């Protein structure tokens, strides 16, 4: 076991896969000589050179199109958005080409593409750099979406995403890069489509992902002291949602609290509620409680920014309400 930061875990995953497969390459803004805005590609340029760690112009729609074209012809690109918000400028390529070409070509083309980078609400990064993009991408057919939350799952998930033959949107939270954890020295992979059971419990189920996993665990530490026994699931897979694991938990607890940083309108929580209401409503002994970010551009002001996202005390209060 070695203790690493989350950004180092992502770098290790990229390095390990690139060393085994010469068709894998990285492209994006400042990924080469600079080593990436959050050091995920640090030192990889010196090892692999200009053609495999490729610095691009600030032209997101263009280099996304180049990445998709290279994936169609047998390469396995990893696109880093310096900030995931910038990739809204490539939304046309991601939706009309990355998501659809395998289908519209009748299966003649595979699109083994990873689109990764920092997102989420940072510390006073302003509205344009603090976007929650899950709701933007979840309705695009043909995409997979994954959100890492720890160094351990970040490495295993990224390695699996790189080997997948479909386009994967890989969400990393800007405030988790310096999270530190011991991970195995031995190579490992984590499935892209499975939720992680973080804590077993019987009283109620908490669904969460990304940075909110850590807010949930802070809240759970207090709830356990009060005598509650929550079960915690980290979704990991945002598309497709692992409804099987959610239902298995609900069959035991019959109560559900969803905690997300995504916007409430059209968010991941909204989709989960819709799926449960469609097929599994009878499992519920209480209305689902959903804690989501405010439907507003993230303010720059620190106090206002803080008020837009969910915090542990809100989770504690909602859990108490759920089991009354």
In this predicted model, what pLDDT tens digit does every residue of 81-119 receive, in sequence order?
A: 888 889 899 999 999 999 999 999 999 999 999 999 999
Distance CA 70, CA 54 (A): 13
Residue 280 included in any domain: yes
Same domain, 49 and 157: yes
pLDDT tens for residues 166-210? 999 999 999 999 999 999 999 999 999 999 999 999 999 999 999
> Are 55 and 177 members of one domain?
yes
Long-range Cβ contacts of 275-281 (<8 Å, 24+ apart): 275/241, 275/243, 276/243, 276/246, 276/247, 276/250, 280/247, 280/250
What is the chain's alpha carbon radius of gyration, rounded to the nearest angstrom? Answer: 20
**pLDDT for position 111:** 97
pLDDT of residue 146: 97
* CATH number assigned to the domain comprising residue 70: 3.40.50.970
Shared domain for 277 and 299, answered yes or no, is yes
13 and 92 in a single domain? The answer is yes
Instruction: Tell whether 190 is covered by a domain.
Output: no
Q: Are residues 13 and 146 in the same domain?
A: yes
Q: Which helix (H) or strand (E) holds 161?
A: helix 151-163
What's the rounded Cα separation, in Å, for the pair 119 and 26? 18
Are 221 and 177 found together in one domain? Answer: no
Summarize the confidence of residues 152-157 as an average pLDDT.
Answer: 98
pLDDT tens profile 263-272: 899 999 999 9
pLDDT at 153 over 90: yes
Query: In whole angstroms, what is the distance from residue 64 CA to residue 144 CA?
Result: 16
| Structural domain includes residue 68 | yes
Same domain, 38 and 159: yes
Last residue of one domain, picked from the residues 127, 153, 183: 183
138 and 159: one domain? yes
Task: Among 156, 183, 210, give the residue marking a domain's end.
Answer: 183
Catalytic position from the list 45, 80, 129, 271:
129
Of 159, 183, 207, which closes a domain? 183
Residue 303, in any domain of the structure:
yes
Task: Say what the pTM is.
Answer: 0.95
Predicted local confidence at residue 127, as pLDDT: 87
Reply yes or no on whether 129 is catalytic.
yes
Mean pLDDT of 274-290: 97
State the Cα–Cα distance between residues 215 and 208, nearest whole angstrom.
9
Same domain, 122 and 214: no
Per-residue confidence (pLDDT) for residue 39, from 0 to 100: 95
Q: Are residues 141 and 29 in the same domain?
A: yes
Is residue 188 included in any domain, yes or no? no
Please check whether residues 308 and 178 belong to one and the same domain: no
| Count of domains observed in the chain | 2
Active-site pick, 12, 60, 231, 305: 60
- The domain that contains 275 carries what CATH number? 3.40.50.920
Residue 236 in 3-state DSSP? coil
| 164-175 CB burial, b ≥16 within 10 A, e <16 | bebbbbbbbbbe
Q: Are residues 218 and 167 in the same domain?
A: no
Active-site residue, 214 included: no
Domain that holds residue 311: 196-322
């Amino acid at each position: 076991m070695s203790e690493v930061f989350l950004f180092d875990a992502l770098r290790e995953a990229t390095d390990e896969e690139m060393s085994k497969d010469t068709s894998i390459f990285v492209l994006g803004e400042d990924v080469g000589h600079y080593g990436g805005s959050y050091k995920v590609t640090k030192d990889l340029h010196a090892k692999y050179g200009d053609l495999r760690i490729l610095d691009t112009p600030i032209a997101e729609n263009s280099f996304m199109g180049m990445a998709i074209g290279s994936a169609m012809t047998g390469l396995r690109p990893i696109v880093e958005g310096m900030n995931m918000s910038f990739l809204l400028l490539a939304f046309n390529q991601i939706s009309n080409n990355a998501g659809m070409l395998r289908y519209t070509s009748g299966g003649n083309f595979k699109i083994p593409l990873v689109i990764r980078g920092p997102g989420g609400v940072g510390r006073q990064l302003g509205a344009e750099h603090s976007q929650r993009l899950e709701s933007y991408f979840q309705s695009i057919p043909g995409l997979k979406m994954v959100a890492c939350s720890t160094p351990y799952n970040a490495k295993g998930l990224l390695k699996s995403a790189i080997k997948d033959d479909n386009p994967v949107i890989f969400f990393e939270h800007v405030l988790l890069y310096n999270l530190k954890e011991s991970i195995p020295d031995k190579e490992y992979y984590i499935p892209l489509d499975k939720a992680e059971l973080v804590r077993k419990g019987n009283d109620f189920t908490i669904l969460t992902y990304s940075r909110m996993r850590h807010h949930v665990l802070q809240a759970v530490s207090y709830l356990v002291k009060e005598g509650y026994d929550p079960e915690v699931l980290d979704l990991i897979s945002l598309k497709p949602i692992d409804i099987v694991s959610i239902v298995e938990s609900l069959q035991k607890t019959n109560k559900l609290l969803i905690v997300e940083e995504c916007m409430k309108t059209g968010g991941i929580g909204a989709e989960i509620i819709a799926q449960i209401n469609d097929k599994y409503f009878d499992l519920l002994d209480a209305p689902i409680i959903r804690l989501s970010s405010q439907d507003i551009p993230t303010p720059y002001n620190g106090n206002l920014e803080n008020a837009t996202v969910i915090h542990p005390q809100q989770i504690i209060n909602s859990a108490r309400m759920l089991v009354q």
